[in-house]
A and B are shown apart, each in its own frame.
Chain A
Amino acid sequence: MVQVRDVTKVYVRGSQRVEVLHGISLDIPRGDFVALMGPSGSGKTTLLNLIGGLDQPTSGELVVAGRRIDQLSGNALAHWRSENVGFIFQFYNLMPVLTAADNIELPLLLTRLPAAQRRRNVEIVLEIVGLADRARHRPNELSGGQEQRVAIARAIVSDPQILVCDEPTGDLDRTTADEILKLLQTLNRDHGKTIVMVTHDPKAAEYAARTVHLDKGLLA
């Protein structure tokens, strides 16, 4: 599903040139659940952003879901993301002006699905994440765990092949975090989603099928 080949990433901030990833190579097969761990500044979020097509490597090859995404232009990459990747963030990043259902429907506006079908898909994923009764609630009317469930529903509503999660439980208490991680496990096991998750939390990493460690831009 994911093939990372000798990927480097260099950021230029003013006159500073910072090399964050130093020739990383990594394979993640379809249906895998990988936890990326490492200290702050090790490059795990940068690697996650590259796999999710949010950023481009400075050099190297990046094949995700069968496409050389390091060669895609801005618009093509945006289109590719909409079809292949679901994103889950630490702070949920829901639209505060929209209800849970509307937040979940947002990615479907990029498809040609008719409104009725979009609504049906939203109902299905709300059932999956256990929030069918919260469809009309706005984010500020939901708990942190519920917000993250809405974010997960938004990530899976267009049925992407891969989910990239950046500290998905970093803002949650232990119990809620466990619920979210179990949900991710279910999506991986029962729905076949390939999951790449960045986390600092060793307990969270235990829910993954395997853990990859990064340190100073290299696989440890």
Chain B
Amino acid sequence: MTRVGFVLANLFRRKTRGTLTLLSVVSAFLLFGLLQAVHVLFNAGVDFVGAARIVTQARVSFTSSLPLRLLPEIAAIPGVSQVMHETWFGGVWQTNTPLTTFATVPEQLHAVYPEWVMPEAQWRAFAATRTGIIVGRQVAAQFGWKVGQKIPLASNIYPRRDGSKAWAFDLVGIFDGKDDNWQRQTTQEFINYGYFDEENQFGRGNVNIYVEKLSPSADPAAVARTIDARFENSADETKTQTERAFNVGFVKQIGDIGLIVRWILSAVFFTLLLVVGNTMAQSVRERIPELAVLKTLGFTDASVLGFVIAEAAAFCLIGGLIGLGLATGVGALVERKLGGFLPIQVDVGVWATGIAAMLAMSLAVGILPALRAKRLNIVDALAGR
């Protein structure tokens, strides 16, 4: 037996209580790992390294539109090889199934996103059919849609010129992704911008974003700076960033993610402090005579204090490491499921923060019971006083 063995033996002296406490630590750190990864993702600076495409939106918000006339100016900027634009259409299928539909120019989409794979005939049909719509493989499978079918969609944002919310599209193509990552993102649809712009009641000649495909030798950060500088102090100031940063901004619409994460984590850890703290306090209270025996045998006050802190640390570290391990797996799974749209990575930084949190928590939950154990008077404790 070793001192570590002695500490571990004491963890599960009451199996149900020990297991439940450990599970609460595991759950807390699973949540911590995932939320911290989200927090890091949402607070990371824009990293242009290796970007093949960049996204330009209105400086204020991507919900503000940019005029279509910027396209030739952006296309002329050195380093930009292709440009496309996208406008959020949304759309509702049947009564209340919201869709992720964008209006764009078929040829531009094909050129800028070679990752979307579809028979050339269908690309041509999309370009030639003003009311055409192409849908991702997953969407088609979900609703059982087939090429040639009429797809009626409602739009709460864009009424048609006649005031009707009902739009009708002809399904001319079903696209897939070129690899696993892209195949997992086939959850969206594209409609023809020409038809959309002509038919919608307001905001003609405007788009939400421009997507620039860069030439291989281009410096993404420099191109982004050039684009933004080009429209600086104009009525249409822009903000150009990587696709990933844009995606993050898209999700950020739901609120201040950082604040939400901080509040949830505070609540989780406060509860955890109470749970583990209570377990440790109970455990020490039940063992007063045993702790007194340890001191009788010659273990010093500091050793006894160390044993109790070590028990708290064992709870926090064992549970925390399992929790972070699970978070790493779940994060990877979510990232895979989203096809890289939101890279939730429980990386080294999250692990380091997590381990620091485990150590801080060990001290926080262990220190009071440990001090009580340290101050035990042997004679009183053995006499049950």
* Interfacial residues, chain A to chain B (CB-CB below 8 A): 49, 52, 54-55, 74-75, 78-83, 87, 89, 93, 95-98, 101-102, 105-107, 109-110, 115, 154
Contacts of A97 in B (CB 8 A): 9-10, 12-13
Would you give the shortest CB distance from A88 to chain B, in whole angstroms? 11
A54-B296 CB under 8 A given contacts A89-B382, A109-B2, A109-B3: yes
Which residue of the partner chain, among B10, B297, B302, B379, contacts A82 with CB atoms under 8 Å? B297
Q: Nearest chain A CB to B294's CB is how many angstroms away?
A: 8
Q: B379 to A49, Cβ gap below 8 A?
A: yes
Mark out the residues of chain B between 142 and 176 whose CB falls within 8 Å of any chain A CB in the assembled complex. none
- B210 to nearest A CB, angstroms? 67
The main secondary structure of chain A at its interface with chain B is helix
Instruction: Please indicate the chain A residues that have their CB under 8 angstroms from the CB of B1 in the complex.
Output: 98, 101-102, 105-106, 109
Pull 27 A–B residue pairs with CB atoms less than 8 Å apart, ordered by A. Answer: A52-B296, A54-B378, A75-B300, A78-B298, A78-B301, A79-B298, A79-B300, A81-B296, A83-B298, A87-B296, A87-B297, A89-B382, A95-B6, A95-B290, A95-B293, A96-B13, A97-B12, A97-B13, A98-B1, A101-B1, A102-B1, A102-B9, A105-B1, A106-B1, A106-B294, A109-B1, A109-B2
Instruction: Assess whether B300 is in contact with A74, with CB atoms less than 8 Å apart.
Output: yes
CB proximity to A under 8 Å, residues B284-307? 289-290, 293-302
Q: How far is the CB of A65 from chain B (nearest CB, A)?
A: 13
Residue of B nearest to A74 (CB): B301
Q: How far is the CB of B236 from chain A (nearest CB, A)?
A: 72
In angstroms, Cα B297 to Cα A81, docked, is 7
Closest CB-CB distance, A105 to chain B, in whole Å?
5
Total number of B residues with any Cβ neighbor in A under 8 Å: 24
A78 contacts which chain B residues (CB < 8 A)? 295, 298-301
- Which residues of B are found within 8 Å of A82, using beta-carbon distances? 297-299
The CA of A82 and the CA of B299, in the complex, are separated in Å by 8
Contact flags B345-385 to A (C-beta < 8 A → 1, else 0): 00000000000000000000000000000000011001000
With a CB–CB cut-off of 8 A, which chain A residues contact B5?
Answer: 102
Give bound CA distance, A35 to B221, whole Å. Answer: 90
Instruction: Label chain B's interface by main secondary structure.
Output: helix
Q: How far is the CA of A184 from the CA of B71 in the complex (A)?
A: 100
Whole-angstrom distance between the Cβ of B53 and the nearest chain A Cβ: 61
Residue of B nearest to A83 (CB): B298
B298 and A81 contacting across the interface, CB-CB below 8 Å:
yes
- Distance A49 CA – B296 CA, assembled complex (angstroms): 10
Of B9, B10, B293, B295, the most chain A CB neighbours within 10 A belong to B293
Per the bound structure, the CA–CA distance linking A75 and B295 in Å amounts to: 10
Query: Cα distance A109–B298 when bound, in Å?
Result: 10
CA A187 to CA B10, docked complex, whole Å: 32
Let me know if A75 and B301 touch, CB within 8 A. Answer: yes
Q: Give Cα distance in the complex from A44 to B71, angstroms.
A: 100
Please name all residues of chain B whose beta carbon is closer than 8 Å to the beta carbon of A74 when the two chains form the complex.
300-301
Query: Smallest distance from the beta carbon of A219 to chain B beta carbons, Å?
Result: 21
Contacts of B300 in A (CB 8 A): 74-75, 78-79
Contacts of A115 in B (CB 8 A): 2
CB proximity of B10 to chain A, nearest CB, Å: 6
A96 to B290, CA, bound (A): 9
Query: Quick one: closest A residue to B289, CB to CB?
Result: A93
Contacts of A106 in B (CB 8 A): 1, 6, 294, 297
With both beta carbons as reference points, the residue of chain A lying nearest to B302 in the complex is identified as A75
Distance to closest chain B CB from A142 (angstroms): 17
Q: How far is the CB of B343 from chain A (nearest CB, A)?
A: 45
Besides A82-B297, A115-B2, 19 other A-B contacts (C-beta < 8 A): A74-B301, A75-B300, A75-B301, A75-B302, A81-B298, A87-B296, A87-B297, A93-B290, A93-B293, A95-B293, A98-B6, A98-B9, A102-B6, A102-B9, A105-B1, A106-B294, A106-B297, A109-B1, A110-B298
